Structure 1
């Protein structure tokens, strides 16, 4: 389920404004004209830029944390299946290496959670605050009769 609220607030139609960057007088103009480039450049710097950065930061954060936790688990399972002799060999204090690696899985998961929270506070939360301050809240807008 997505937290995207763009469906809740549809764009208002503005007459004589089109989504196409090509001027209406030249419908067959190539996409390489200067008007298209200026529209393309503006789309990278508008108010939606911070929202795109926020989405990208959240995706990156989720991917890294999930890959760390699940990657370690996948390595553990692969070693268990591929090299059972290594997993049964004695390691620290006479415990089998497989048990030691299984016990290390909990701290690895906690490190992934701590990394997730650290990057959220450092990168994602400031972006979310910036987006929140730039967008008007629906309660702040006056209702017109």
Structure 2
């Protein structure tokens, strides 16, 4: 159970830092360096708008990262705990 809790905690931290970390950097730039954010990008849009639009793919990547880490590390540990709790023969909980 301790390994499962640790893996789950690490999973939440990675996904949270990926999504909220980018957003915090965006907000910090907006507040601290507004001249950079209002400057036009090569496409003609303000850099702030481009950074805001990039937030959506960053959040999507955080979700994909969350799912990848969950399937790779957390789910196998959860299956082991479930097997141990319900016995090796009946791996699924009964309703």
Give the structure-2-normalised TM-score: 0.89
Gaps of 5+ in 2: 88-92
Q: Give the number of the structure with larger relative contact order, counting CA–CA contacts within 8 Å between residues 6 or more apart.
A: 2
Greater radius of gyration (CA): 1
Q: For 1:1-145, list aligned pairs within 5 A.
A: 51-136=1-86
| Unpaired stretches in structure 1, ≥5 consecutive residues | 1-50, 140-145
Structure 1 ranges of 4+ moved more than 2 A: 136-139
Deviations 1:70-113 (A, max 9, x none): 11100000000000000010103100000000000000000000
In 1, the alpha carbon distance for the partners of 2:71 and 2:17 equals: 20
RMSD over aligned Cα atoms: 1.4
1:136 shift after superposition = 3.0
Q: Secondary structure at the match of 2:57?
A: helix
